[in-house]
Amino acid sequence: MPDLPVWLLLHFLLAAAATQAARAYALRRRLLDQPGERRSHTVATPRGGGIAVVLSVLLAALWLAMLAAGKDRMLFGSFAIGLALVAGIGWWDDHRPLSPWLRLAVQAIAASILGWGLYQAGTGPWPALTALVMALVLVNVWNFMDGIDGIASSQAAIAASAYFWVLNGPWAALAASLLAACLGFLPFNFPKARIFLGDVGSGALGYTLAALLAVSLQTSSLAWPLLLLPLAVFLVDAGFTLISRMLAGERWWTPHVTHVYQQAAFRFGHVRVTGAYFLLGAVTLMLMLLLSRASLQSALMILPGCGLVLLALWLGARKGLKI
């Protein structure tokens, strides 16, 4: 594990500097998200700032791979390749919109590479398959939920903090690099966005969190349901919004503004909504920490209980917002 304060400062500064460079590049290339009926912002805003987070995490992964040996080196290499694929197709899409099915195909390849890396590391087929599924899920959840200022990067920072706490050695260092990179990017995206993550950033956040979750499931002493708690806020909003759109016969894969956080932002503003989601995420993080010694049986009740509370809040918000 590198010296933690130096490691955090390095990735914070790298992400901040790279975000500034990405903003200048986006303005020069006219890579702007325009306001519209399927957008939550009201002014044209540069996109693609998430390349800064990708750069920071990818450099961390490559450095840690060089320091690692054997199975860890292979797993870090698999993660780095998958991250480059997810970020690469997102970067391309930020420049020229692509078919959602092409993006999904590339994401599936990246998820398979992560699963293969875990399998080669000796985890067995089921953990590898779990990593593959979680990578596909979280890449798209973070893409769905990246719609207002600061929400995606702040939730990723909460989850990165959780996995830093439960992991050890080089994987804890990777979680720390993600946390620092999110904090380096956030001042450019919140409280008033000067640049958006773009698909390059939202997908990379989800993919990195999936890898950290997958390794945590294999190495942490915590009961596995607790490791899902820091992701629960996004999983509930994204998951149940997706289900509701499917049941309504809508084209669920197309952009929309029917998430609770999007509709709430129209009424209350981005800062308040991102702050509310941050508080909910912080509560799930604290629950994970406070209940870290809980047995598997207890954890199997805690996770659904937390999910039901979040679902009740989601349903109440939808009713109040008349979605």
Do residues 147 and 40 make contact, with C-beta atoms less than 8 angstroms apart?
yes
Of the pLDDT bands very low, low, confident and very high (cuts 50, 70, 90), residue 249 is confident
What is the average pLDDT across 121-127? Answer: 88
What pLDDT is stored for residue 25 in this prediction? 97
Q: What DSSP state is assigned to residue 291? A: T
Do residues 159 and 230 make contact, with C-beta atoms less than 8 angstroms apart?
yes
What pLDDT is stored for residue 124 in this prediction? 86
What pLDDT is stored for residue 1 in this prediction? 66
What pLDDT is stored for residue 154 in this prediction? 98
Count other Cβ atoms within 10 Å, centred on residue 221: 7
Q: What is the rounded CA–CA span in Å between residue 199 and residue 205?
A: 10
Of the pLDDT bands very low, low, confident and very high (cuts 50, 70, 90), residue 38 is low
3-state helix, strand, coil in the chain (%, to 5): 75, 0, 20
Percent with pLDDT over 70 in the chain? 98
What pLDDT is stored for residue 3 in this prediction? 87
Cα 22-42-322 angle, rounded to 5 deg: 125
What pLDDT is stored for residue 254 in this prediction? 77
Q: Name the residue with higher pLDDT: 250 or 141.
A: 141
What is the average pLDDT across 240-260? Answer: 86
* Mean pLDDT value across the chain: 93
Taking the whole predicted model, whether its pTM rises above 0.85 is answered as yes
What is the average pLDDT across 300-315? Answer: 95
Residue 256, classified by CB atoms within 10 Å of its CB into exposed (0-12), middle (13-18) or buried (19+), is middle
What pLDDT is stored for residue 44 in this prediction? 84
Of the pLDDT bands very low, low, confident and very high (cuts 50, 70, 90), residue 37 is low
What is the average pLDDT across 289-294? Answer: 94
Does 140 carry a binding-site annotation? no
Please check the confidence at residue 66 and state whether its pLDDT lies above 70: yes
- Render pLDDT for 158-169 as a digit per residue (tens, 0 to 9): 999 999 999 999
Please check the confidence at residue 241 and state whether its pLDDT lies above 80: yes
Read out DSSP for 24-73? HHHHHHT-EEPP-TT-S-SS-EE--TTHHHHHHHHHHHHHHHHH--THHH
Please check the confidence at residue 255 and state whether its pLDDT lies above 80: no
- Render pLDDT for 72-87 as a digit per residue (tens, 0 to 9): 889 999 999 999 999 9
What pLDDT is stored for residue 138 in this prediction? 98
Read out DSSP for 217-266? HHH-SS-HHHHTGGGHHHHHHHHHHHHHHHHTT--TTS--S-SHHHHHHH
191 preceded by cis ω (within 30°)? Answer: yes
Three-class SS of 138-193: HHHHHHHHCCCCCHHHHHHHHHHHHHHHHCCHHHHHHHHHHHHHHHHHHHHCCCCC
Please check the confidence at residue 35 and state whether its pLDDT lies above 80: no
What is the average pLDDT across 145-152? Answer: 94
Q: What is the rounded CA–CA span in Å between residue 116 and residue 248?
A: 37
297: left (phi over 0), alpha (psi -120 to 50) or beta: alpha
Of the pLDDT bands very low, low, confident and very high (cuts 50, 70, 90), residue 36 is low
Of the pLDDT bands very low, low, confident and very high (cuts 50, 70, 90), residue 306 is very high
Does 168 carry a binding-site annotation? no
Helix pair 232-247, 296-321: axis angle to 10 deg: 50
What pLDDT is stored for residue 322 in this prediction? 84
